[in-house]
Amino acid sequence: MNFFIKNYGCQMNIYDSARMIDILSAAGHKECKHLDEANIFIFNTCSIREKADEKLFSDLGRAKSIKFKIQDAGESCIIVVCGCVAQAKKEAIFNRAPYVDAVVGTQEIHNIANVINEVIEKKKNNEYSNVLMGVLNTKSKFEALKTTNITERSYSEYLTIQEGCDNFCTYCVVPYTRGREFSRDAKDIIDEAKKMVSIGVKEITLLGQNVNSYHGEGTDGRIWKLSRLLYAMAEIDGLARLRYVTSNPKDVSTDIAEAHRDIDILMPFLHLPVQSGSDKILKKMNRKYTTDEYLRCIDMLRAYKPDMAFSSDFIVGFPGESDQDFEDTLKLAEKVRFAQAYSFKYSPRSNTAAAKMENQVPEKIKSERLKILQDMLNNHQNEFNENTVGKTVDVLFTKRGKFKNQLVGRTEYSQAISVCDKSINIGDIAFVKVTEIKSHSLVGSVKKK
Ligand code: 5AD
Ligand code: SF4
What does the pLDDT look like over 400-424, one tens digit per residue? 999 999 999 999 999 999 999 999 9
249 in Cβ contact with 272 (< 8 Å): yes
Model's pTM, two decimal places? 0.96
User: Which pLDDT score is estimated for 449?
Assistant: 56
Task: Name the E strands within 234-277.
Answer: 241-245, 269-271
pLDDT at 448 over 80: no
Q: Whose CA is nearest to atom 17 of ligand 1?
A: 313
Q: Based on the number of CB atoms within 10 Å of its own CB, is 227 exposed (0-12), middle (13-18) or buried (19 or more)?
A: buried
The closest alpha carbon to 354, from 276, 438, 294, 261, belongs to 276
The closest alpha carbon to 261, from 214, 225, 227, belongs to 227
User: Which pLDDT score is estimated for 16?
Assistant: 97
Task: Name the E strands within 97-161.
Answer: 102-104, 131-133, 156-160
Q: Output the CA 209–ligand 2 centroid distance in Å.
A: 9
What's the mean pLDDT in 153-173? Answer: 96
User: Which pLDDT score is estimated for 52?
Assistant: 84
The closest alpha carbon to 196, from 237, 230, 250, belongs to 237
Rg (CA), the chain: 23
Return d(Cα 408, Cα 208) in angstroms, integer. Answer: 27
Convert the pLDDT of each residue in 172-216 to its tens digit: 999 999 999 999 999 999 999 999 999 999 999 999 999 999 999
Q: Whose CA is nearest to atom 6 of ligand 1?
A: 172
User: Which pLDDT score is estimated for 376?
Assistant: 98
What's the mean pLDDT in 420-446? Answer: 94
Torsion angle, CA of 127/132/133/134, rounded to 10 degrees? Answer: -170
Q: Output the CA 176–ligand 1 centroid distance in Å.
A: 14
- Residues lining ligand 1, judged by CB closer than 6 Å? 48, 171-172, 273, 275, 313, 315, 344, 346-347, 349
Q: Output the CA 266–ligand 2 centroid distance in Å.
A: 25
User: Which pLDDT score is estimated for 351?
Assistant: 85
User: Which pLDDT score is estimated for 50?
Assistant: 81
Q: Output the CA 297–ligand 1 centroid distance in Å.
A: 21
Atom of ligand 1 nearest to the CA of 275: 17
Query: Residue 139, Cβ neighbours under 10 Å: how many?
Result: 12
Q: Output the CA 294–ligand 2 centroid distance in Å.
A: 24
Mutate which of 344, 347, 349 to test ligand 1's pocket (most atoms within 8 Å of Cβ)? 344
Determine whether the shortest distance from the Cβ of 12 to ligand 2 is under 6 A.
yes
What's the mean pLDDT in 231-246? Answer: 98
Mutate which of 6, 14, 20, 48 to test ligand 2's pocket (most atoms within 8 Å of Cβ)? 48
Q: Relative to the alpha carbon of 315, which ligand is closest? A: 1
Q: Relative to the alpha carbon of 271, which ligand is closest? A: 1
Convert the pLDDT of each residue in 103-142 to its tens digit: 999 999 999 999 999 999 999 998 888 999 999 999 999 9
Return d(Cα 255, Cα 226) in angstroms, integer. Answer: 9
Atom of ligand 2 nearest to the CA of 173: 8
Q: The dihedral of CA 338, 343, 349, 354: what is its sign?
A: positive
How many percent of the chain have pLDDT more than 70? 100
Q: Whose CA is nearest to atom 5 of ligand 2?
A: 174
Convert the pLDDT of each residue in 376-386 to its tens digit: 999 999 999 99
User: Which pLDDT score is estimated for 53?
Assistant: 85
Return d(Cα 141, Cα 43) in angstroms, integer. Answer: 19
pLDDT at 51 over 90: no
Peptide bond into 246 cis (omega under 30): yes
Atom of ligand 1 nearest to the CA of 172: 7
Q: Whose CA is nearest to atom 16 of ligand 1?
A: 48
DSSP per residue over 296-315, as a string? HHHHHHHHH-TT-EEEEEEE
Question: Residue 190, SS3?
Answer: helix
Atom of ligand 1 nearest to the CA of 10: 15
- pLDDT band of residue 88 (cuts 50, 70, 90) is very high
Q: Relative to the alpha carbon of 48, which ligand is closest? A: 2
Convert the pLDDT of each residue in 350-371 to its tens digit: 889 999 999 999 999 999 999 9
User: Which pLDDT score is estimated for 198?
Assistant: 96
* Backbone torsions φ then ψ of 319, nearest 5 degrees: -50, 130
366 in Cβ contact with 316 (< 8 Å): yes
Return d(Cα 355, Cα 12) in angstroms, integer. Answer: 25
Angle between helices 291-304 and 323-336 in degrees, nearest 10: 10
The mean predicted confidence, pLDDT, of the chain is 96
Return d(Cα 441, Cα 416) in angstroms, integer. Answer: 5
84 in Cβ contact with 46 (< 8 Å): yes
